Amino acid sequence: MNRAKQSYSVSIVKSKQVAGDFFQWDLSIHLYSSETMTWTTSVTDVLTGWRGGDESVICNNVLYFLIYSTGGNSDHRHGLIASNLSSSTSSLMRSFIPMPCALTCGRLMNLKERLVVVGGIGKHDRPEIIKGIGIWCLKEGGEWQEMARMPQRFFQGFGELDDVFASSGSDDLVYIQSYGSPALLMFDMKFKCWKWSQKCPVSKKFPLQLFTGFCFEPRLEITP
């Protein structure tokens, strides 16, 4: 979004399995500009051992999105691609960034133009089983800085937490929520503190009921 020019751009990452080969996936990035009202394809590549997913975010004109291992020889289930929207590249894997540790799931968010990842930390012997939740910030040079790990009393406060969960953020606040519970946990990146939100007015009425939500910044924009 360019508020000065009152224009915007949209990016779409398309991932499609190569016919007859589960380990290879066609991946392309398509960009829409409201100024020209046109779509362009900035990148087309074939990933081997990885596929695209549905987790992405833009920070400082760089598109970050998660890719998922299709079983090859990767030690981790997730990886990160950073694609500069102002330039083109012939190989997406050149901008591959390993995740900070083995994750059960990862959630990406833009907090003040910083890429922040909230991930489920897998057990050492069984990485698909969640044992905790961590928060990391991507520094220049592709290095991860650990910002926090959820204390066990909060982790246990979710009850039985699945290996995947919802998380979003805005400004300095990170929100974490289990799909199986309306409980909402918040982490303040500035003051490094955890706290539960006030009790949600919606209660769980049956065992398989799922909850979801989204984060947004309310604001009023007026143009002459």
| Alpha-carbon gap, residue 2 to 4, rounded angstroms | 6
The residue written with tokens 């589960």 in the block is: 22
- List Cβ<8 Å contacts ≥24 apart for 141-145: 142/82, 142/97, 144/99, 144/100, 144/117
Distance between CA atoms of residues 166 and 157, nearest Å: 15
Q: Three-state SS for 152? A: helix
Q: What string of DSSP letters covers 24-53?
A: EEEEEEEEEETTTTEEEEEEEEEEESEEEE
Which residues of the chain fall below pLDDT 70? 72-74, 220-224
Tell me the per-residue pLDDT of 155-169, one tens digit each, with 9 for 90 and over: 988 877 778 899 999
d(CA 176, CA 155): 10
Q: What is the pTM of this model?
A: 0.88
CA distance 70 to 23: 6
Q: Which candidate, 72, 70, 73, 132, places its Cα nearest to that of 105?
A: 132
The three-class DSSP label of residue 141 is coil
In total, the chain counts a number of residues equal to 224
Position 200 scores a pLDDT of 80
Cβ pair 56, 13 in contact under 8 A: yes
Residue 170 to residue 47: CA distance in whole angstroms: 32
Beta strands 38-48 and 78-84, pairing class: unpaired
